[in-house]
A and B are shown apart, each in its own frame.
Chain A
Amino acid sequence: MKNILKTGFMALTVMALSFTACNEDDPVTPTDDSRYMQEDQMGRPAINTVFVSAGDKDDFNVTTPSKQGAAFASKFNDKLLALNPGYSTNALGLDAATFTGILATDVLTVATQGKTTFFDGANVLTGRALADDVISVELLLIFGGPEGTGNPGLTDDNVDANDKAFLNTFPYLATPH
């Protein structure tokens, strides 16, 4: 009994000591939940890269998507108007505030039924297939105006396909190249 008590007391002492840096009595192996930190997140390709300024990156990367809209929509709006001062609406009929409100919640929406595509002229954001020309679609929505015909030099990344064919079976990606 005496031994048990002693052990119990020592455990308490150890806990108290472990608040100081690199103490000898600190458990050396950290607990699992403290070992990882979120460093990055991305929903729609390149949106975080383009719309979040360098000074906001760290914050954006650890903000849960449900809170991104409130925190970053107005900054996205400023960025959009800085990139394209003549922006009125885009091919989806969205004005700047509505468009950036959608973009600021950086998630990739997926329709559980129907065709999976980033944009194919008929379906919008029902997912993203590997061969989708996502950057050109985004450029078109940012620079192309209501008809998609504005700023023709800026609405296409001029990369029309992957430089190696995708596979038809898992893992679907092209072999390393």
Chain B
Amino acid sequence: MKNIAFLILFVLIVLAAIFINPQIEIAHGTDYDHYLTEEHLQKNQKELNSRIGFWEEKLAAAPGNFVFQKKLAGLYASSFKLSGDISQLHRSDSLLQQVNMRLPGQVGVLQSLAANAITRHAFLESESYIREAFGIGQNKFASSLMLADVMLERGNLLEAELLLKDITSRSHFDFLIREAKLHDQSDELDKAVRCMEKAAELAKASGDAGVINWSLSNLADMYGHQGKVKKAYETYLEALRYDPADLHALKGIAWIAFSKDKNTEEARRILTFLQSIHPVPDYDLLLAEIAAYEQNAPKEQEYQDAFVREASRPVYGNMYKSYLCQLKSNEGEVAEALEIATQEIRERPHPMSYQLLAWATFRKGDKALALDIMEKHVIGQTGEPNALFHAGVILKENGRRKAAEAQLNAALGASFELGPVVAKEIETQLRQL
């Protein structure tokens, strides 16, 4: 009898835990407040600057020395990742171009040019560099991995898979993270996570704090995509222990505070801090989304305008084109949106680019053509939540009720990733079916 009483009590506790748990906030300032300081970033930047100074001095004494130019190009590319100052990426590129012009055909230089081009989202340019390096043959392992990167970005999953198959090496970190990406893009998120977990373990075995941080930060993103938000949060915190200046992890935590906890104040606090030390357009976009959730239309417009103004600057090239395209579609600037989508498809014939074109076409009012694009290039070819959402809406407006429901429900499954504003919109769309 006593046992039964205990059993009932136990069941009640479990039930209570299940029902109360979703209300509990995940992100707590006490866990990460000590990272919200410029000090860590400054420390990394200072170290990098002293190395840049060292090689700049040597280059000044021997102008045109290609060894010094290559060293500096690598350091400026790292510095861009830290500071977000786009001019440093351009400086890196221009040094590499100088070397490549004078001494063409150096595999290392071509690989660095390709890597920078990927960062700039200039995927066609990147492909031409890395194919040249691949053709020369030296260090083919790295060239294969990078060519696979470009193929994944350009939506050519088959070539990426064949390239990776050729160099299969499951105890190699660099291979595993590509395999994770391939699974991720093939809509096999669970497999992708397992690859990334193995990569993180390998990184830990190597003891390299930078690599450990990178793999954990990316793993946390993937847990988020799986909807395992608590695990994502803990993994971001672990990543921060290896690199306290990991702004990507802090941004991830801000997203958790917003998307999961609905604690807009906390999310804004983190993002405002990040914005104050890292001048990239990204944060305005998130702040606009938070303002939208708070139904503060003037604030939303203000952040959105700031984002568009900054992200449209020619120095950023293609880097923010997909965001700009979607914003312009939603704002009714469809002619511009269509133009950007067409450019994006040229650069990156990926289902995600086609869904931009379909969305712009739909917003223009041509719902039949929008559906045609979706069916030919998007539906069934990507599991990206945004594509599922847009496909669902377009199917619905074309009277394809059942198919729309399937897409919208799948999108709703990723409501953490999409955020509460879009999640609410999906629910509205589903109700209208």
- B 413-424 binary contact with A (CB < 8 Å = 1; else 0): 000000000000
How far apart sit A26 and B205, CA to CA, in the bound complex (Å)?
16
How far apart sit A118 and B310, CA to CA, in the bound complex (Å)?
60
Chain A residues bordering chain B, tally (CB within 8 A): 17
Contact B138 A58 (CB under 8 A): yes
Contact B138 A55 (CB under 8 A): yes
Contact A23 B107 (CB under 8 A): no
> B residues within 8 A CB of A54?
105, 107, 136-138
Most buried by B among A23, A28, A34: A28
How far apart sit A52 and B216, CA to CA, in the bound complex (Å)?
39
> A residues within 8 A CB of B180?
22
Docked complex: A14-34 residues within 8 A CB-CB of B: 21-24, 26, 28-31, 34
Residue A37 CB within 8 A of the other chain: yes
> A residues within 8 A CB of B176?
22
Residue B183 CB within 8 A of the other chain: yes
> B residues within 8 A CB of A58?
137-141
Most buried by B among A21, A23, A28, A35: A21
Within the complex, the shortest CB–CB distance from B140 to chain A, in Å, comes to 5
Known contacts: A22-B179, A28-B197. The answer to whether A37 contacts B137 by CB under 8 A is no
Residue A115 CB within 8 A of the other chain: no
Within the complex, the shortest CB–CB distance from B180 to chain A, in Å, comes to 8
Name B's interface SS: helix
Smallest CB-CB separation from A24: which chain B residue? B194
- A 35-47 binary contact with B (CB < 8 Å = 1; else 0): 1010000000000
Question: Apart from A37-B169, A54-B137, A58-B137, what are 20 other A-B pairs with CB-CB below 8 Å?
Answer: A21-B170, A21-B195, A22-B170, A22-B180, A22-B191, A22-B198, A24-B194, A26-B198, A28-B198, A28-B201, A29-B201, A29-B205, A30-B205, A35-B205, A54-B136, A55-B137, A55-B138, A57-B138, A58-B140, A58-B141
How far apart sit A24 and B169, CA to CA, in the bound complex (Å)?
17
Smallest CB-CB separation from A20: which chain B residue? B191
> A residues within 8 A CB of B141?
58
Residue A56 CB within 8 A of the other chain: yes
How far apart sit A30 and B123, CA to CA, in the bound complex (Å)?
34
> A residues within 8 A CB of B170?
21-22, 30
> B residues within 8 A CB of A55?
136-138
Q: How many residue pairs between the two chains, A and B, have CB atoms under 8 Å in the bound complex?
A: 50
Known contacts: A58-B138, A58-B140. The answer to whether A30 contacts B202 by CB under 8 A is yes
Smallest CB-CB separation from B182: which chain A residue? A21
Residue B171 CB within 8 A of the other chain: yes
Size bin of chain B's contact surface: 20 to 34
Docked complex: A41-75 residues within 8 A CB-CB of B: 54-58
> A residues within 8 A CB of B139?
57-58
> B residues within 8 A CB of A31?
171
Residue B172 CB within 8 A of the other chain: yes
Contact A57 B137 (CB under 8 A): yes
Contact A21 B107 (CB under 8 A): no
How far apart sit A58 and B136, CA to CA, in the bound complex (Å)?
11
> A residues within 8 A CB of B195?
21-22
Within the complex, the shortest CB–CB distance from A39 to chain B, in Å, comes to 8
Name A's interface SS: loop
> A residues within 8 A CB of B140?
58
The 9 closest A-B pairs by CB, nearest first: A55-B137, A30-B171, A22-B195, A54-B138, A57-B138, A34-B171, A22-B194, A28-B201, A54-B136
> B residues within 8 A CB of A28?
197-198, 201
> B residues within 8 A CB of A37?
169, 172
How far apart sit A16 and B91, CA to CA, in the bound complex (Å)?
51
Docked complex: B169-202 residues within 8 A CB-CB of A: 169-172, 176, 179-180, 183, 191, 194-195, 197-198, 201-202
> B residues within 8 A CB of A34?
171
Docked complex: A83-132 residues within 8 A CB-CB of B: none
Within the complex, the shortest CB–CB distance from B110 to chain A, in Å, comes to 10
> B residues within 8 A CB of A29?
201, 205
Smallest CB-CB separation from A33: which chain B residue? B171
How far apart sit A37 and B175, CA to CA, in the bound complex (Å)?
13
Contact A22 B183 (CB under 8 A): yes
27 pairs of residues in contact across A and B, judged by CB atoms under 8 Å? A21-B195, A22-B176, A22-B183, A22-B191, A22-B195, A23-B194, A26-B198, A28-B197, A28-B201, A30-B202, A31-B171, A34-B171, A35-B171, A35-B202, A35-B205, A37-B169, A37-B172, A54-B105, A54-B107, A54-B138, A56-B137, A57-B137, A57-B138, A58-B138, A58-B139, A58-B140, A58-B141
> A residues within 8 A CB of B105?
54
Smallest CB-CB separation from B195: which chain A residue? A22
How far apart sit A29 and B201, CA to CA, in the bound complex (Å)?
7
> B residues within 8 A CB of A21?
170, 179, 191, 195
Smallest CB-CB separation from B200: which chain A residue? A28
- B 117-139 binary contact with A (CB < 8 Å = 1; else 0): 00000000000000000001111
